[in-house]
């Protein structure tokens, strides 16, 4: 199905509340983690503190390091604002040093997604903190980080990027091959998906070269109830089968010609962006007109 035929759902309830761009709140029951009772989750931060009850004033009973697996054993409890964003608490169970344990954890300490490659390396991504809007034109954003852990859950690489959250409904990751890029072993694609009018679905790519994690070009897609759409696609060398050092981004935009038409008729424009990969970084190329 082409993106111009996609129908979005205008939601009256989005999983966030913005307060003058100083902090951000996720809904207790509906948020980007979408972790339900009985599901497992992975610790994202270097050290996550486990408490005796759901609250910052509760006693610290344990700590877990990144890569540790926990099981969610409760529905959400009223949460807390830490690192400028609010998420609920959950009760968890886990095993440490061969002993079964339980406690309570703040949801923001968990990874949004984890992927494991064929060598057993663990790819996690999650939020470091919400960065407030400054005095200029810059938007508030989440500082988002990818962590790569070895089979002993030790950190071997990390890479950050900015994500201007605007009401996306879910987050997930997918591990791709090197997609034909020289020196690239794996690519992690992070998806922040939306079903709401005017809220973009955002896609971020980070490449693992065997030595470091490197941000690649990102893309997004958005539509607004038949009034307009913007759709971006990225093709890697294994997909476009041309120069194996190039990444292509194809951009299509449509604006409806007649608001009263039963079937939207769009005024469509297209353009391309090309990126040169040199095995270490990418550079956006200037295209001749």
Q: Using CB atoms within 10 Å of the CB of residue 148, give its burial: 0 to 12 exposed, 13 to 18 middle, 19+ buried.
A: buried
**pLDDT tops 60 at residue 10:** no
- Residue 176's pLDDT is 98
φ/ψ of 3, rounded to 5, equals -65, -30
Distance (Å, whole) CA 77 – CA 99: 25
CA atoms within 13 A on the CB side of 153: 13
Q: What is the pLDDT of residue 13?
A: 43
Residue 174 domain-assigned (yes or no)? no
The answer to the question of residue 222 being in a domain is no
Q: Can you tell me the mean pLDDT for 74-82?
A: 97
282 domain residue, yes or no: no
129: in domain: no
Q: Which position has the higher pLDDT, 202 or 242?
A: 202
CATH number at residue 70: 2.30.30.40
Q: What is the pLDDT of residue 100?
A: 98
pLDDT confidence band for 204 (50 / 70 / 90): very high
- Assess if residue 236 is contained within a domain: no
Q: What are the φ/ψ torsions at residue 127 (nearest 5 degrees)?
A: -100, 130
Buried b (16+ CB within 10 A) or exposed e, 85-110: bbbbbbbbebeeeeeeebbbbbbbbb
Give a yes or no: residue 91 inside a domain.
Answer: yes
Is position 95 within any domain?
yes
Q: Is residue 65 included in any domain, yes or no?
A: yes
What is the pTM assigned to this prediction?
0.91
How many domains would you assign to the chain? 1
pLDDT for residue 178: 96
Residue 103's domain spans which residues? 17-110
Question: What is the mean pLDDT of the segment spanning 241-268?
Answer: 85
What's the pLDDT tens digit per position in 149-173? 999 999 999 999 999 999 999 999 9
For the cut 50, the answer to whether the pLDDT of residue 1 exceeds it is no
> Greater confidence, 252 or 8?
252
């Amino acid at each position: 199905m082409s993106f111009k035929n996609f129908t979005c759902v205008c939601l009256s309830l989005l999983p966030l509340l913005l307060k003058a761009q100083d902090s951000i709140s996720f809904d207790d029951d509906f948020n980007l983690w979408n972790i339900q009772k009985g599901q497992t989750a992975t610790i994202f931060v270097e050290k996550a503190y486990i408490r005796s009850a759901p609250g910052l004033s509760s006693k610290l009973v344990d700590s877990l390091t990144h890569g540790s697996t926990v099981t969610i054993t409760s529905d959400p409890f009223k949460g807390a604002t830490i690192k400028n964003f609010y998420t609920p608490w959950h009760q968890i169970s886990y095993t440490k040093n061969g002993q079964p344990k339980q406690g309570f954890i703040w949801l923001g300490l968990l990874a949004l997604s984890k992927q494991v490659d064929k060598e057993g390396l663990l790819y996690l991504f999650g939020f470091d903190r919400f960065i407030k809007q400054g005095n200029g034109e810059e938007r508030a954003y989440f500082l988002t980080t990818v962590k790569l852990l070895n089979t002993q859950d030790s950190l071997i690489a990390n890479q950050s990027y900015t994500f201007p959250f605007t009401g996306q409904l879910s987050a997930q990751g997918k591990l791709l091959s090197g997609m034909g890029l020289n020196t690239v072993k794996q690519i992690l694609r992070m998806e922040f998906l939306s079903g709401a009018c005017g809220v973009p679905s955002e896609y971020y790519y980070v490449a693992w070269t065997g030595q470091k994690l490197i941000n690649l070009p990102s893309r997004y897609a958005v539509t607004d109830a038949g009034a307009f759409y913007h759709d971006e696609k990225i093709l890697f060398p294994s997909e476009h089968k041309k120069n194996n050092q190039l990444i292509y981004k194809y951009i299509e935009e449509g604006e409806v010609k007649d608001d009263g038409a039963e079937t939207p008729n769009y005024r469509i424009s297209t353009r391309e962006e090309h990126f040169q990969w040199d095995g270490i970084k990418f550079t956006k190329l200037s295209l001749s007109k």
